[in-house]
Structure 1
């Protein structure tokens, strides 16, 4: 699924999903992305969620990661196979791709959701 870059977590970004959310607890290497409409409104990650991504954290098995694919930031779940990593889409076509370290933008470390729309 597509993600929209919001900016560094340390800037105190104003977003409805972040009301009452303490961004100061995250490292300076963290930034925020908003989940696009293609995510839908059913599932563990939905449209409008804000994800905190740590670009300094090394991805492990079954992590949610942000990767740049075809010029867009997209959300994937990782699958480690030996020393290599396969990226599994969280929405859309189910074709996985091999990860290149250059394409990885960080690991999702937190998720904020706006309740009471």
Structure 2
């Protein structure tokens, strides 16, 4: 699933989903992405959700990770095997990919939703 880069968290980004969020609790290595319309409006990830991504946190088993694929930032579930990570798509085609830690753009550490359904 595609995500859209919004910028570094320390830049003081204003967004309705972040109301009441204490942004100071996150490391300076964090940035925000917004989940694209590919997610739809049902499930644990929905269109418009904001994700806080830590670009220095190493991926572990079953993390949500952001990876650049074909010029787009995309969201995957990680399946760690030794020093490599198997990337399992969160939406769309179910073909997985292999990656190294250095290929990852970050690990999702928090999720914010504007509206609860």
TM-score, normalised by the number of residues in structure 2? 0.94
Task: Please give the alpha-carbon distance, in whole angstroms, between the structure 2 residues aligned to 1:116 and 1:63.
Answer: 23
- Cα deviation for residue 83 of structure 1 reads 2.8
Work out whether residues 69 and 103 of structure 1, in 8 Å CA contact, stay in contact via their aligned partners in 2.
no
| Unmatched 5+ stretches in structure 2 | none
- Cα deviation for residue 71 of structure 1 reads 0.5
Aligned to 2:19: 19
1:1-117 mapped onto 2 (5 Å cutoff): 1-115=1-115
- Cα deviation for residue 29 of structure 1 reads 0.3
| Unmatched 5+ stretches in structure 1 | none
Report the secondary structure of 1:99's partner residue: strand
- Cα deviation for residue 101 of structure 1 reads 3.4
Between Structure 1 and Structure 2, how many residues are aligned? 117
**Aligned alpha-carbon RMSD (Å):** 1.3
Work out whether residues 9 and 28 of structure 2, in 8 Å CA contact, stay in contact via their aligned partners in 1.
yes
